[in-house]
Amino acid sequence: MREPAMETTPVSPPPQALLERLKDYGQEDAFALWDELSSEEKDLLVKDIENIDLPRIDRIIRCSFHSQGLPAAAIEPVPESCVSTVEERTMEEREKWWKMGMKAIAEGKLGVLLLSGGQGTRLGSSDPKGCFNIGLPSGKSLFHLQAERILCIQRLAAITANEGAGIVPIQWYIMTSPFTDEATRKYFESHKYFGLEADQVTFFQQGTIPCVSKDGRFIMETPYRVAKSPDGNGGVYTALKSSRLLEDMNSRGIKFVDCYGVDNALVRVADPTFLGYFIDKGVSAAAKVVRKAYPQEKVGVFVRRGKGGPLAVVEYSELDPSLSSAVNQETGRLRFCWSNVCLHMFTVDFLNQVANGLEKDSIYHLAEKKIPSIHGHTVGYKLEQFIFDAFPYTPSTTLFEVVREEEFAPVKNANGANFDTPDSARLLVLRLHTRWVVAAGGFLTHSVPLYATGVEVSPLCSYAGENLEAICRGRTFHAPCEISF
């Protein structure tokens, strides 16, 4: 317990109206230590409480606790008709989708949305994850690689679809959190936006939500501040609406939004093939998926909720082990095999609709955590939404299988962990780019075994292995190195 603050004036009670409002929602304990606070701390506490939208937060807490107890609809495998698999795709289809996507990009109809609220804590860094350098020969960070992929696609779109009309910039919307916002902005400014125009990059913050105890009361981080945590990557829907960025997209003529997580070193940002497929199918939401590597892999999978119900994602922890290993006798694949890798496409109209739907239903996932509080670490809940919470709201979803080794190199754990490390991601990039160079007629020399090294192709030279013959044919490169113009 703190020493009472020395005050010469009589102890002033908490603002009556605010205390009454807290009582209405059963949160008056937030003022429990009022008499021990200095006048400065009292001001901080009042401001903190005033900044909380109490009716909204109360609704979220009640709806989220209530939904915990409800039985979920039974799950079924995703129907084959909802998935475009790699082996089914013809060369003609791929070319058609690539051209359709390029045309839409050249017409300014695609926006790119990056989920970048997380810090690299598990990587041993307090910087935003996107600043992380995974050790490629170029030394480029994740942000840098993604920016150059956008530059490359803009240029390709102008060449293929827009004869002589010049480059149309792709708008890049970057969601940060209160913990990463300032550092992210400074990082982009100090690197001159990696060659992009400053006005094609927009930063906005996801919200925070008070952490609550098992009985739904606010946990106090200090006697004058409520403990809060970011509202999950699904907070993007509310944040886009409240920061009026959906209006911004509409005013710019953006119709489609490519949405992805920052920690994938192989992400194909603004992928024209995926966009063309999405437009061709005429759906409101789509997701890239990879085939589950083995039954116990810790990935969320797409399922169908209930008979003829919408597609949804079930976390690996919620999937019964017998279902995880069940095999579809006709296809030879796992029955639940389509892993969610946070690569999504949405229409702007659907983003509007889902922001309203999620807000109305107010159901968040309760993540049980140890939360720093005035009583030491208290077991309580952080309330989060996930990006895939949108899928049950869509009238039509389709899944697009991609090859893991070409598009998914997650960077989640520090080097030394068993999987998803900077080292494993770097090797995936180097191996893929090595295959591109060899296919384009290049040769490699290397002083360490080739499986442990490779070459890096700058995104400014090639987006997905195209246009490399002129640079590579007949040339020999000594691995590891970066191939750039």
Amino acid, res. 325 = S
In the chain, the largest separation of any two C-alpha atoms, in whole Å, equals: 87
Q: What is the pLDDT of residue 166?
A: 84
Q: Are strands 476-479 and 443-446 parallel, antiparallel or unpaired?
A: parallel
Measured CA distances, 479 to 256, 429, 432 (Å):
39, 13, 13
Cβ contacts of 267 within 8 Å, gap of 6 or more = 146, 149, 260, 261, 343, 407
313 bridge partner residues: 302
* Tokens at 187, concatenated: 């990082």
Spatial contact of 270 and 153, defined as CB atoms under 8 Å apart:
yes
Amino acid, res. 444 = L
259 bridge partner residues: 113, 344
Q: What is the pLDDT of residue 117?
A: 86
Nearest to 369 by CA among 378, 356, 360: 378
pLDDT tens, the chain, 485 aa long: 555 555 445 578 889 999 999 999 999 999 999 999 999 999 999 999 999 999 999 999 999 999 987 777 789 999 999 999 999 999 999 999 999 999 999 999 999 999 998 877 788 888 999 999 999 999 999 999 999 999 999 999 999 875 667 899 999 999 999 989 999 999 999 999 999 999 999 999 999 999 999 999 999 999 999 999 999 899 999 999 999 999 999 999 999 999 999 999 999 999 999 999 999 999 999 999 999 989 988 889 999 988 888 899 998 888 888 999 999 998 889 999 999 999 999 999 999 999 999 989 999 999 999 999 999 999 999 999 999 999 999 888 999 999 999 999 999 999 998 889 999 999 999 999 999 999 999 999 999 998 899 999 999 999 999 999 999 999 999 999 999 97
Q: What is the pLDDT of residue 252?
A: 97
* pTM of the shown model: 0.93
SS3 232: coil
Residues composing the chain: 485
Q: Are strands 443-446 and 376-384 parallel, antiparallel or unpaired?
A: unpaired
SS3 428: helix
Between CA 397 and CA 140 the distance in angstroms is 35
